[in-house]
Structure formats: C-alpha cells, structure tokens
Amino acid sequence: MTISLLSLPDAEIQCRLLADQIRPTLTTNTTLVGVYSGGAWIAERLTRLLGLPGPAGLIDVSYYRDDFAQKGLHPQVRPTRISFDVNNRCLILIDDVLYTGRTTRAALNELFDYGRPAAVKLAVLADRGGRQLPIAPDYCVWRLDLPPETGLTLSLDNGHLSWKVEHA
Amino acid sequence: MPNPQLNANGELIHLLSTEGLPREILTHILDTAATFVGITDREVKKVPLLRGKSVFNLFFENSTRTRTTFEIAAKRLSADVLNLDITRSSTSKGETLLDTIDNLCSMHADMFVVRHATSGAPYLIAEHLKRMGKHDIHVVNAGDGRHAHPTQGLLDTYTIRHFKRDFSSLTVAIIGDILHSRVARSNIHALKTLGVPELRAIGPQTLLPTRLSQMGIRVFHDMRAGLKDCDVIIMLRLQNERMNGALLPSVGEYFKHYGLSPEKLILAKPDAIVMHPGPINRGVEIDSEVADGSRSVILNQVTFGIAVRMAVMSILAGNG
C-alpha cells in the first residue's frame, strides 16, 4: 500500500474521533494509561477532551520488552507513572500505532505488576496490521495495512501531533 | 589503548572504573537509575529484565552492605543470584582467580560482581573473558584495592544530582583518608566528567595523595577553610588500620581536626548535604548529631545505591 504525505490524516482530529468512541463507554471507574511516547501525548489530549479528573497514567515498557536480549536497553527510559491504585480499576491503554502487539503485551505485563485491574481495554489511533500476538484494539480510528519496511510514527512538533511515514 | 570497559561500538560492557567513561554513559546510568527508584512502591517490586540470567557475587573481601545491595538489585531485575563464600571456597584451597572464573563460566554465569583486595583484579577478569571469547559475560567492579569503587561513585553522583539538580555550579568537598580511598577516586573521576567546577580535598597531609592539585583539585589541610561555601560534603570512613601506620596521632586528635561536627558544618552553605559511603564511625570522622541530622543524606545514598546498581546491571546485560 502506498501512502502519500498528502493523504495522511490529521492526528489531532483523530484524537477527537477516538474520544468520541470512548465517551459512551466511560464509567466513574475509568482511568487512561498512555504508552510513551505517542500514547502519552494522546492520553493527555483524551483526558482533556473527555474531562477526566487527574493526569493519565504513563507507562514505559522498556523493562518488559521481549527484544531486550537483541536490542539492549533503550537509550532513554522514562519513569512509569501510575499514581493511582490499579486494583479493580477499568483501564484504557492508549497507544499511537498497533502493529505486532508486542508493546501491548509488555504494557499489560507491567500494569499487572501494579495490581489487578477490573478490566483493560486498548485504544489506538492507528492499526497498521501485522499482528504477531492475539491482541486487538477496542477503540481505533484508522485501520490500514502497511508492509514491514514502512514505518508509521506519530510526532509532536510545536504542540501539534502529526503522522510520519518512512520507507526503509 | 582502547577502554576495556567499552565494546567496539563504544557501549558499556563492563563497569570497572568511572575513570575514562564518557559523560553520556555516566548520564545514561543516572537517568536509568531514576526510573528504578519508584519500583519499590509497586505491588510487584521487580521487573523481568534479567529473567533467566545468573549473577555471581564474588566477594574476595568482606562487605555485607555492598554485597547485599548488589543482591537486591539483581533480584529486583529478576536475575538468579549466587553468592560465593570465597573465604570457604576453592580459592582458599589454592585455586587461582582465573581458574575460579573459568569454572563459574562453565556454570553459565552471565555477570560477575567482583570485590577484591587487589587493585586491578576485575580488569584481569574482564581481559581474561575477552581472551576466552566470552563477550556476553559482564564484570562489575564492586571495589578493588585502593583503585576504584565505581558503583559507589555513581550512587554518590546520583545522590548529588537528586538533591542539587545540576552539577555545573557546585562546590564539592571530599574529606578524610583520600590516599587509601577507592570511593574518593571514583567520585573524583565521575564528578569531574559530569562538570563539577570545584572539587576540594580536605585531610591531613599523610592521608592525601600528592598529585591532587595537578588534577585540578583544591587541597585543604584546614577543614574549616575547606568547608566554606561547600554545597556537598562527602565524608570518608577512617579505616582503623591506618592508625597503626603512624599516619595519625590518635582518633581524638583526628576528630578534633577532621571530624564533621555541627560547629564545622555551619561553615558550609546552609543547604549543604552531608554524605558518607558507610559504615560510619560515629565520633571518629562524623558527629552523631550531623550523621542523624536534617542535612545528612547517608540513608538516601543506600536506597539510591540499589537503583544505580540495577541501572548498571541492566545496561551491561543489554550490551553484548
């Protein structure tokens, strides 16, 4: 599949669409957890758009990745910040791109080291296919099928979220 | 000569000394340690990073605290930890150091944490592993002779950064037996690389190395003058065995001149922090009122030491 730069959707608008999907399912027990970096930016926007109290949780999965033996430690690990009691909470895990599913697996493992949530759902802006694990999003605004040599990343420039596509 | 601590890509594969380590690597260790500090607040106080790895603690010299903190750090990374009681093992039956290492390699060790009374012993092990082609086994120096104690140096710099945020405007004084101190050496190299503009060494002439001023360190024999306007005070333990070497007249005399008392502490900046690598000798190099006082961060050092050792072990394990 070929994607031209011109056809890339506006990620800020996608955040609002994602908020619209999540809103009807919110309960007073729901808390967002963003996966660094992209998921953290989105979680921050969703917290505001959905009028949720308190900051979202932030999770860095570096210590739970399954490719540590091949790639070593990420050069910039950020501290996971889960300042609430995870036990019996309904969590929505937020990420920018869902690809192999390995990051989601790592994030789930880390979350369960904080406690036993009542439920965990997955919200992503983009599902690019290529899953290697039995993981699927509960909320998603952009579904596409990209070959492995194409990279899709979310970036934050001057406070604005935008997509970048790179061909290896 | 290439730095034996780094691989061809400039990545850290052994931690032998803070000397010669680039600023980026020191900062990476401190930044990584910061992410491990909060782990004890979680329900599960460990991460799976070193799952399936074996860490061997080889302490040829006694040190309960350092060995314990390395053991806790490795266990919080989910590694299997084996503590070898060297004094009762084959070494006391005549086995050489490198034969011991070869045997442990055959038991599939992934990392050696080495404390040895002889300076250079961890270097010897790292060089031996390289010669044997065992590039995936890592060595951490947990203190060798008078030479280096890099994780103590790193946890001290971590503690300083935690409380002072920025190294670039600090005055740091190291006080006591610097001549015999591997901790002082590791601190000096790390703090200079991280950009501390003023490092001071305070102590009697008999306990200070002769070449300090050539390294850009200000030397003081008068503790009161040396403490003036300091942001950080690092006290060193006075090792009792030094008393026998005619280096000092008496413990009482030492405390009078170089012990940190509340009266002397007033001369430093009002927000100065007091550090000590432990174990402390109350009434010898530090007054109890200071050691237990609000400016003392000695117990914080111990807590941060675990996070720093976790950071070192996880960075090493990730670099083949």
List the beta strands (DSSP E) in chain B: 54-59, 80-84, 111-116, 138-144, 171-175, 198-202, 218-220, 232-235, 273-275
Tokens at B129, concatenated? 């592993």
pLDDT digits (tens, 9 = 90+) for A18-28: 999 999 999 99
**Residue B47 at interface with chain A, using a CB cutoff of 8 Å:** yes
- Domain contains A3: no
| Full domain range(s) for residue A93 | 10-151
Q: Is the pLDDT of residue A1 over 60?
A: no
Distance from CA of A33 to the nearest CA of B (A): 16
Q: Is the pLDDT of residue B242 over 80?
A: no
- Domain contains A59: yes
* A63-81: b (≥16 Cβ within 10 Å) or e: bbbeebeeebbbeebbebb
pLDDT of residue A13: 98
Chain center to CA of B122: 14
pLDDT digits (tens, 9 = 90+) for B125-179: 999 999 999 999 999 999 999 999 999 999 999 999 999 999 999 999 999 999 9
Average pLDDT, chain B: 93
Q: Is the pLDDT of residue A56 over 90?
A: yes
pLDDT of residue B196: 98
> What residues contact residue B235 under an 8 Å CB cut-off, 6+ apart?
B175, B176, B260, B274, B275, B276, B280, B285, B286
Cβ–Cβ of A60/B35 closer than 8 Å? Answer: yes
Cβ proximity of B223 and B174 under 8 Å: no
pLDDT digits (tens, 9 = 90+) for A62-88: 999 999 988 889 888 999 999 999 999
pLDDT digits (tens, 9 = 90+) for B252-275: 889 999 999 999 999 999 999 999
Q: Is the pLDDT of residue A3 over 60?
A: no
Range of lowest pLDDT (B93-97, B143-147, B156-160, B315-319): B93-97
Distance from CA of A70 to the nearest CA of B (A): 8
Calculate ∠ Cα B307-B130-B69, nearest 5°.
Answer: 20
pLDDT of residue A50: 97
Q: For chain B, what percent of residues have pLDDT higher than 70? A: 96
Domains: count for chain A: 1
In B37-149, which residue ranges form alpha helices assigned H by DSSP?
64-76, 97-106, 121-131
Distance from CA of B49 to the nearest CA of A (A): 5
Residue of chain A nearest B42, judged by CA positions = A114
- Domain contains A126: yes
pLDDT of residue B63: 86
User: Tell me, what CATH number does A24's domain have?
Assistant: 3.40.50.2020
- Domain contains A81: yes
Cβ–Cβ of A77/B35 closer than 8 Å? Answer: yes
Distance from CA of A117 to the nearest CA of B (A): 12
Q: Is the dihedral of CA B180, B183, B185, B188 positive or negative?
A: negative
Q: Is the pLDDT of residue A38 over 70?
A: yes
Domains belonging to chain B, first-starting first, are 23-148+303-318 (3.40.50.1370), 150-297 (3.40.50.1370)
The per-residue DSSP string of B75-98 comes to HHTT-EEEEE-GGGSGGGGT--HH
Confidence of residue B92 (pLDDT cuts 50, 70, 90): low
pLDDT digits (tens, 9 = 90+) for A10-19: 999 999 999 9
- Domain contains A5: no
- Domain contains A129: yes
- Domain contains A112: yes
Q: What is the mean pLDDT of residues B93-115?
A: 91
Confidence of residue B244 (pLDDT cuts 50, 70, 90): low
Q: What is the mean pLDDT of residues B90-116?
A: 89
* A113-126: b (≥16 Cβ within 10 Å) or e: bbbebeebebbbbb
The Cα A42–Cα B190 span in angstroms is 39
Q: Is the pLDDT of residue A33 over 80?
A: yes
Cβ–Cβ of A68/B44 closer than 8 Å? Answer: no
pLDDT of residue B86: 76
Chain center to CA of A164: 16
Q: In terms of pLDDT, which residue wins out, A94 or B180? A: A94
Q: What is the ipTM of this complex?
A: 0.84
Cβ–Cβ of A80/B35 closer than 8 Å? Answer: yes
pLDDT of residue B62: 84
Question: What is the rounded radius of gyration, in angstroms, for the C-alpha atoms of chain B?
Answer: 20
Q: Pairing state of beta strands A150-157 and A160-167?
A: antiparallel
pLDDT of residue B126: 97
pLDDT digits (tens, 9 = 90+) for A111-162: 999 999 999 999 999 999 999 999 999 999 999 999 999 999 999 999 999 9
Q: Which residues of B touch A79 (CB under 8 A)?
A: 34-35, 37-38
Sheet holding B111-116, edge to edge: B80-84, B54-59, B111-116, B138-144
Chain center to CA of B216: 21
Helix (H) or strand (E) holding A57, with range, is: strand A57-59
**Residue A99 at interface with chain B, using a CB cutoff of 8 Å:** no
- Domain contains A61: yes
Q: In terms of pLDDT, which residue wins out, B183 or B251? A: B183
Tokens at A84, concatenated? 């609430």
Residue of chain A nearest B24, judged by CA positions = A75
Confidence of residue B85 (pLDDT cuts 50, 70, 90): confident
Sheet holding B171-175, edge to edge: B218-220, B198-202, B171-175, B232-235, B273-275
* B295-313: b (≥16 Cβ within 10 Å) or e: bbbbebbbebbbbbbbbbb
Helix (H) or strand (E) holding B28, with range, is: helix B23-36
